[in-house]
Structure formats: structure tokens, C-alpha cells
Amino acid sequence: MGMRPTRPCGPLLAELPERQREAIFLRYYADLDYEAIAELLGISAGTVAATLHAAHSALRERLEGVRR
């Protein structure tokens, strides 16, 4: 079984820029692939990948701050 968050992630997600929040929502809540996200947001699949990477990095930094 994977790790389960002990706190809601909503406040952390709310701190992300709008495009990053959209990409995270579409990827993990709507379960869309990069191509579908790209079409919906009007960007390339490569930009989706870069946006998700930036969002993951930002969330990781924030989560490390919460753990301390």
C-alpha cells in the first residue's frame, strides 16, 4: 500500500499557480493522459510534462516544510 497523507492536500494545492493546479487536477483526479490535458489546456504535451514536474517539485518542497 502507498503512503497516505496525514493532512488534506487541498491547502498545498491551493498555493500552486493556476496552470499547475489545473494540470494536477486533470492528471490525478480526472485521470487524463498528457495528450488529453494538452488538448484541454491548449498547450503541448511537453508543456504538460514540464508543468506537472514543476508542480511536483513545488509540492515536494512544501511537504518537506510541513514534516519539519
pLDDT digits (tens, 9 = 90+) for 31-52: 999 999 999 999 999 999 999 9
Do the beta carbons of residue 51 and residue 19 sit within 8 Å?
Answer: yes
Confidence at residue 22, expressed as pLDDT on a 0 to 100 scale:
96
Q: CA 31 to CA 68: how far, in whole Å?
A: 31
Of 66, 6, 65, 16, the residue nearest 28 (C-alpha):
16
- What domains can you pick out in the chain, each with its CATH number? 17-67 (1.10.10.10)
Structure confidence at residue 10 as a pLDDT band (50, 70, 90): confident
Do the beta carbons of residue 24 and residue 13 sit within 8 Å?
Answer: yes
Model pTM? 0.81
* 68, pLDDT greater than 90: no
